[in-house]
Chains A and B, each alone.
Chain A
Amino acid sequence: MLFSNRMINILIPIISVLLGLLSGAIIMFFFGYNPVEGYAALWNGAFGDSYFFGETIRQVTPYILSGLAVAFALRTGLLNIGVEGQVFVGWLASVWVGISFELPMVIHLPLAVLAAALAGAFWGFIPGILKAKLGVHEVIVTIMMNYIALYISNEMVRSVLTDGADRTPEIFPTASLASEWLASMTFYSRLHYGILIALFMAAVMWFVLNKTTTGFELRSVGFNQNASKYAGMNVSKNIVLAMVISGAFAGLAGAMEGLGTFGYMNVKSGFTNIGFDGIAVALLGANTALGVVLAAFLFGTLKIGALNMPTEAGVPTELVEIVIALIIFFVASSYIIRWVFLRFKKEGK
């Protein structure tokens, strides 16, 4: 067979990306910009020198984790819109541990990372238990939990971690993911060791979902709760567990910002969008671990590369937002692409 189902599933995101970029080029053209210059600037902004490359990878890191969080929940039949809030509490928890005391690095850093994961897990546990026990839809609860996380974090930064300041002190170096070595290699970009954690967690997600009995149960409950109950699985327990694991991934994404990129937490006027972009990353990555890593890489590249577009080609950075939106649009409407393929297949016979 020319195009097997598997092939089509892989081709759809790729074609969507190409269509998104092509549409972006057309839009640039109609607004009087030079698309070739625009994309060249984007490329240079992402990979032009080692500083830009370092920044790109830094941006990719939280995207991988927030993408994994959304993907994990979706694979188990849950829509976790609350990744954004879970990122916030993870960020807050990691910085809190980072500034509160000084410990040997081998203890302090893992402790700070773990605190972030636990905070995110707890933020996922609440909608999970409400869904499992009372049947409250997780989308509603997680959306609300995002706002709770935003305002609680701000209040904590202002009133608990500082005396009315807008940002916390820097974390102790023993809790930091930053690396002199990585930074110097990339002309002092903010690249940090978090990328290793992100890639490791992608492997963890793949392993848990595909290779363990827990993953088997989680996926089974996601597909068919009745059959899972019939087969003796504890449906409520699995729903809660799925949200807890998803939340933990999201909490780690927060730690990447708190312990890696910034080293502090500040009062925020709005969402970071790391969590919301995670939804797009998971969608483009077809909810698989490898797909999420690749999609996060693309999104990180686009976001960082876009920063160079106004200076080098005079194209506004918003253009990249349009391209991303179009890519998501094409993935979401994959039905059309699939339909074209099927037509093609039929005629080929």
Chain B
Amino acid sequence: MDYVIEMLNIRKEFPGIVANDNINLQVKKGEIHALLGENGAGKSTLMNVLFGLYQPEKGEIRVRGEKANITDPNVANGLGIGMVHQHFMLVDTFTVTENIVLGSEPKKMGRVNLKKAEQEVQELSERYGLNVDPRAKIRDISVGMQQRVEILKTLYRGAEILIFDEPTAVLTPQEIKELIQIMKSLVSEGKSIILITHKLKEIMEVCDRCTVIRKGQGIGTVDVAETNPTDLASLMVGREVSFSTEKKPAEPQETYLSIKDLRVKDVRGVEMVKGLNLDVKAGEIVGIAGVDGNGQSELIEAITGLRKTESGEIKLHDKALTNLTPRKVTQSGISHIPQDRHKFGLVLDFPIGENMVLQSYYDKPFSKNGVMNFKNIYKKANELIEEYDVRTPDAYTKARALSGGNQQKAIIGREVDRSPDLIIAAQPTRGLDVGAIEFIHQRLIEERDKGRAVLLLSFELEEIMNLSDRIAVMFDGQIVSEVKPEETNEQDLGLLMAGNTTVKAGGE
């Protein structure tokens, strides 16, 4: 038996859902093994089980053929399992070496022997072609370099099996190429890699074998050499037609939102939206499909005034929105259901009732001459709570105390109630249960039927397919193709999203 890792019949439950059900994963020594699945399919849960963060309800884990009981991450480290997290866990003001040795510092007479550590880090870095300066401070190096520091951290602790959690999500194309080289050199030195991803292209490029998970179920393992992106996509999303939301055919009217040659940079100053064109008409839902990190967030932040645009034009009706303040954008008739409801959507320490007027508190009847009218505010809040089925003890409860689904329903109530011309819904159902998802989908369709324009951003292909009347596929900062949901399928979409432009709308 030459498997380094075997996870057999793993089952992991959370209250109300089964995150992993009967999943098998067998990783050979010296291979790059992909773990493929949609968002929320259960990939991260499975890896957290392997890394000791969760305990499985059922199943067995074997490391190098021996049964292992991984009760916490330290046990995993001891067994030579290392994880390169998607969100780096680094101390900004420390040097590369200090970060790497943190927690297992080499000591000399009770003092940290940084010199020795630096030497070791240098050696490791050279051996695997990582090219990291051990003395640089984390805040001074690029995201790609920071990721290499995370890799070095696991290697320094003697990891033989490395788990990469969606490592390319934060990288530039050049950095991705370099990372692929690093992964290849790691396996040539005898390490084994588990790569968590939903990008088919990467799997085809670097992986030896691929295990597919769909909705918490293990679907199977295939040899990458004997498959192709189309087959992988169909394995990932499943052939069976999923329960789809009922809606009438759209009746698009005049163009409401029109974007021309838009360019936007992200926080790092990297251009993320690169000359994008898009129209959204009244009475239609346009879904933006794409893999996370292709400029979707920057696009939406630019429309809503949260981020500066470099050049190009955004118009609602014939009014220019480019670089207006968020308040002006809102007043022009745009509602925004933000991607991160905790960071942007709600003031968690305010009562849910006051969150209901977060966009309109300055206006009558909620205030007059600068004095708040709480009676009217809570009257409105109670109406919205009733209408949008927000489950809360009362309107005075802090938003923090509500469940994610109810927080989201409150935001949707607030945003839809303003009767906007355009609703921007960014990942409106992320992390919600089936009931809440259905409710929110119905609401968005209702708004469309009232003649509003809806721009939907989602990383869930199923949601895009179900809701959209038109799908705009976004890749590398541009809309690379537009398709109708009835003329495409999830496999083709998956390929388009991965930048494969050989697929035509309507399948082969």
- Chain B associates with chain A: yes
> Could you tell me which A residues sit within 8 Å of B by CB distance?
211-216, 219-220, 223-224, 226-234
A214 touches B345 (CB 8 A): no
Contact with A along B334-346 (1 / 0, CB 8 A): 0010100001111
Known: A213-B367, A216-B354, A231-B359. A226 touches B325 (CB 8 A): no
Given contacts A220-B347, A230-B344, 13 further A-B contacts (CB under 8 A): A211-B372, A212-B371, A213-B362, A213-B371, A216-B372, A219-B350, A223-B350, A224-B347, A229-B306, A230-B304, A230-B326, A232-B328, A234-B325
Please give, as numbers and ranges, the residues of chain B lying within 8 Å of A211 by CB-CB distance.
371-372
Please give, as numbers and ranges, the residues of chain A lying within 8 Å of B367 by CB-CB distance.
212-213
Please give, as numbers and ranges, the residues of chain B lying within 8 Å of A229 by CB-CB distance.
306, 326
A227 touches B358 (CB 8 A): yes
What is the chain B residue whose CB lies nearest that of A224? B347
Known: A213-B361, A216-B354, A220-B358. A228 touches B347 (CB 8 A): yes
Please give, as numbers and ranges, the residues of chain A lying within 8 Å of B327 by CB-CB distance.
232-233
> Could you tell me which B residues sit within 8 Å of A by CB distance?
304, 306, 325-328, 330-331, 336, 338, 343-350, 354, 358-359, 361-362, 367, 370-372
Closest 6 CB pairs of A and B: A232-B327, A230-B344, A231-B358, A232-B326, A223-B349, A224-B347
B343 touches A216 (CB 8 A): no
What's the minimum C-beta distance from A282 to chain B, rounded to whole angstroms? 18
CA distance A220 to B361 in the complex (A): 12
A212 touches B372 (CB 8 A): yes
B306 touches A230 (CB 8 A): yes
- A-B contacts at CB below 8 angstroms, number: 60
CA distance A223 to B358 in the complex (A): 13
A226 touches B343 (CB 8 A): yes
What is the chain B residue whose CB lies nearest that of A230? B344
Q: Which of A216, A227, A234 contacts B346 (CB 8 A)?
A: A227
A223 touches B348 (CB 8 A): yes
Q: State the majority secondary structure of interface residues on A.
A: helix
CA distance A227 to B371 in the complex (A): 21
What's the minimum C-beta distance from B311 to chain A, rounded to whole angstroms? 23
Please give, as numbers and ranges, the residues of chain B lying within 8 Å of A220 by CB-CB distance.
347, 350, 358
A216 touches B348 (CB 8 A): no
CA distance A216 to B304 in the complex (A): 22
Please give, as numbers and ranges, the residues of chain B lying within 8 Å of A230 by CB-CB distance.
304, 306, 326, 336, 338, 344-345
CA distance A232 to B328 in the complex (A): 8
Please give, as numbers and ranges, the residues of chain A lying within 8 Å of B304 by CB-CB distance.
230
24 examples of A-B residue contacts, CB within 8 angstroms: A211-B371, A212-B367, A213-B362, A213-B370, A215-B372, A216-B372, A223-B349, A224-B343, A224-B346, A224-B348, A224-B349, A227-B344, A227-B346, A227-B347, A227-B358, A228-B347, A229-B326, A230-B326, A230-B338, A230-B345, A231-B358, A232-B325, A232-B328, A232-B359
What's the minimum C-beta distance from A245 to chain B, rounded to whole angstroms? 14
What's the minimum C-beta distance from B132 to chain A, rounded to whole angstroms? 29
What's the minimum C-beta distance from A231 to chain B, rounded to whole angstroms? 4
What is the chain A residue whose CB lies nearest that of B349? A223
What's the minimum C-beta distance from B358 to chain A, rounded to whole angstroms? 4
Please give, as numbers and ranges, the residues of chain A lying within 8 Å of B350 by CB-CB distance.
219-220, 223
Please give, as numbers and ranges, the residues of chain A lying within 8 Å of B325 by CB-CB distance.
232, 234
Please give, as numbers and ranges, the residues of chain A lying within 8 Å of B347 by CB-CB distance.
220, 223-224, 227-228
What is the chain A residue whose CB lies nearest that of B338? A230
What's the minimum C-beta distance from B497 to chain A, rounded to whole angstroms? 27
A232 touches B371 (CB 8 A): no
What's the minimum C-beta distance from A327 to chain B, rounded to whole angstroms? 26
Please give, as numbers and ranges, the residues of chain B lying within 8 Å of A223 by CB-CB distance.
347-350
CA distance A238 to B361 in the complex (A): 16
What's the minimum C-beta distance from B284 to chain A, rounded to whole angstroms? 25
A212 touches B370 (CB 8 A): yes
Please give, as numbers and ranges, the residues of chain A lying within 8 Å of B371 by CB-CB distance.
211-213
What is the chain A residue whose CB lies nearest that of B357? A216
What's the minimum C-beta distance from B204 to chain A, rounded to whole angstroms? 38
What is the chain A residue whose CB lies nearest that of B363? A213
Most chain B CB neighbours (cut-off 10 Å) among A219, A224, A233, A234: A224
CA distance A32 to B459 in the complex (A): 73
What is the chain A residue whose CB lies nearest that of B327? A232
What's the minimum C-beta distance from A70 to chain B, rounded to whole angstroms? 19
CA distance A220 to B359 in the complex (A): 12
What is the chain A residue whose CB lies nearest that of B305? A232
CA distance A234 to B336 in the complex (A): 18
Please give, as numbers and ranges, the residues of chain A lying within 8 Å of B326 by CB-CB distance.
229-232
CA distance A215 to B372 in the complex (A): 9
What's the minimum C-beta distance from A234 to chain B, rounded to whole angstroms? 8
Please give, as numbers and ranges, the residues of chain B lying within 8 Å of A212 by CB-CB distance.
367, 370-372
A232 touches B330 (CB 8 A): yes
What is the chain B residue whose CB lies nearest that of A232? B327
Most chain B CB neighbours (cut-off 10 Å) among A219, A226, A234: A226
Please give, as numbers and ranges, the residues of chain A lying within 8 Å of B343 by CB-CB distance.
224, 226-227
Please give, as numbers and ranges, the residues of chain B lying within 8 Å of A224 by CB-CB distance.
343, 346-349
What's the minimum C-beta distance from B378 to chain A, rounded to whole angstroms? 14
What's the minimum C-beta distance from A209 to chain B, rounded to whole angstroms? 11
What's the minimum C-beta distance from A155 to chain B, rounded to whole angstroms? 39
CA distance A48 to B395 in the complex (A): 49
CA distance A223 to B304 in the complex (A): 21
CA distance A112 to B235 in the complex (A): 79
Most chain B CB neighbours (cut-off 10 Å) among A213, A214, A215, A232: A232
Please give, as numbers and ranges, the residues of chain B lying within 8 Å of A215 by CB-CB distance.
372
CA distance A229 to B340 in the complex (A): 14
A216 touches B361 (CB 8 A): yes
Please give, as numbers and ranges, the residues of chain B lying within 8 Å of A233 by CB-CB distance.
327
CA distance A216 to B367 in the complex (A): 11
What's the minimum C-beta distance from A204 to chain B, rounded to whole angstroms? 13
A213 touches B338 (CB 8 A): no
CA distance A276 to B361 in the complex (A): 36
What is the chain A residue whose CB lies nearest that of B373? A211
CA distance A223 to B327 in the complex (A): 19
Known: A220-B358, A232-B326, A232-B327. A213 touches B345 (CB 8 A): no
What's the minimum C-beta distance from B210 to chain A, rounded to whole angstroms? 38
